[in-house]
Amino acid sequence: MFSSRPAVHPVEAPPMTEAAENPPRLRMKDIQGMPGTCGGLALRLLQFAFAASALCVMATTNDFTSVTAFCYLVAAVSLQCLWSLSLAIVDVYALLVMRCLRNRRIACFFTLGDGITSTFTFAGACSAAGITVLIGNDLGLCSENHCGSFETATAMAFLSWFAVSISFMLNFWLLAAR
Amino acid sequence: MFSSRPAVHPVEAPPMTEAAENPPRLRMKDIQGMPGTCGGLALRLLQFAFAASALCVMATTNDFTSVTAFCYLVAAVSLQCLWSLSLAIVDVYALLVMRCLRNRRIACFFTLGDGITSTFTFAGACSAAGITVLIGNDLGLCSENHCGSFETATAMAFLSWFAVSISFMLNFWLLAAR
């Protein structure tokens, strides 16, 4: 079959050769975790689950509003929840209709959104961690505060940030490798 | 000269054509801010200057050791100082001997280092910001603490992080675009 092709369709030969010369690009598009793949959907669901857990745990403490950093964490993980849930729905749609989400504009939009939300979530997690360590270790006031809840919410926010960072890296790589 | 070349050295013609077909890669290598450019050196010096300022300002307060987050900030900006100063020296060397620092291994090493140090610096800045806002706004204890110094050190750490992020993005882009 292949040996006879160039003779029958001589015009089609160059594109085939060109495609064979660039195996990294073809392989790149198959990486799980990028938009429109099952891995990408799993990452979005993980981000949403961790961010929602952080939000719920922090909301169960009645005194988080007295500390600005905890309020900021709640705002950041709420934004993260909305962003990750929206992109999870987009991923489900892309998987159902077998649509490819790897054009330049979409990659640029996803990279920007992931970069902004991951920065906010990480900032919220770090400031909440600073306060939690201050209350628990430096001042030793855990008996009067919900240290356990603060620690759990902070840990969940860090896990959510970690999952968003992977999405961000993959989208940024996709954008740069085009 | 050029018109006679393909006839004299027919083997050299394909590489010249291939290079002319890929203008984005050639243009990419000229972006200021990448390793081995004047912009890259300026970014490294900025990172070092801001991190060193944060370190000095925090060190002038005698009570920063009582808060874990401030100690962490001091450790993070110290690491940032060392990393940025080392890479500034490498950039100066590369500029003096006109050496190109854009191979895959170097880009990978710089990207990893920038990613790790920028994450540490940002985490330190955010946790210190959380504590500073807690002391200043939530508890109103600025009269007993060095709020001004804490705020200045935090701001310097954020500026240093911002400069490192630009280096990280450019290195990551260079790594992915190869």
pLDDT tens readout for residues A30-39: 678 788 888 9
Least CB–CB distance from B129: residue in A119, A127, A133: A127
Q: Which chain A residues touch B175 with a CB distance below 8 Å?
A: 176
Chain A interface, best mutation among B134, B161, B173, by max A CB count within 10 A:
B134
Identify the residue whose tokens are 């990207």.
Answer: B111
Total residues belonging to chain A? 178
- Measured between alpha carbons, how far is B165 from B163 in angstroms, rounded to an integer? 5
Residue of A nearest to B138 (CA): A67
The proportion of chain A whose per-residue pLDDT surpasses 70, expressed as a percent, equals 83
Three-class DSSP category at B120: helix
Higher pLDDT, A137 or A152: A152
Residue-wise pLDDT for B90-110, tens only, equals: 999 998 987 777 788 888 999
Is residue B15 over pLDDT 70?
no
Chain B interface, best mutation among A127, A158, A170, by max B CB count within 10 A:
A127
B133/A130 Cβ within 8 A: no
Least CB–CB distance from A176: residue in B126, B129, B173: B173
Name the maximum alpha-carbon separation found in chain B: 83
Residue type, position A162, single letter: F
Q: Are A28 and A169 in contact (CB under 8 A)?
A: no
pLDDT of residue B80: 96
Is residue B27 over pLDDT 70?
no
Residue-wise pLDDT for A64-112, tens only, equals: 888 999 999 999 999 999 999 999 999 999 989 877 777 888 889 999 9
pLDDT of residue B24: 43
- Measured between alpha carbons, how far is B125 from A126 in angstroms, rounded to an integer? 9
Least CB–CB distance from A128: residue in B130, B172, B176: B130
Higher pLDDT, A2 or A133: A133
Taking residues B159-176, report their average pLDDT.
92
pLDDT-based confidence at residue B140 (cuts at 50, 70, 90) = confident
pTM (2 decimals)? 0.81
Minimal C-alpha gap between B46 and chain A (Å): 21
pLDDT of residue B68: 92
B131/A129 Cβ within 8 A: no
Q: Mean pLDDT across chain A, nearest whole number?
A: 84
pLDDT of residue A101: 75
- Measured between alpha carbons, how far is B153 from B148 in angstroms, rounded to an integer? 9
pLDDT of residue A87: 94
How far lies A128's CA from each of A121, B106, B149, B155, in Å?
Answer: 11, 36, 21, 18
Q: What are the residues of chain A with a beta carbon less than 8 Å away from any beta carbon of chain B?
A: 66-69, 72, 119, 122-124, 126-131, 133-134, 137-138, 169, 172-173, 175-177
Q: Which residues contact B130 (CB under 8 A, 6 or more apart)?
A: A68, A69, A72, A126, A127, A128, A130, A131, B69
Is residue A173 over pLDDT 50?
yes
B172/A134 Cβ within 8 A: no
pLDDT of residue A63: 85
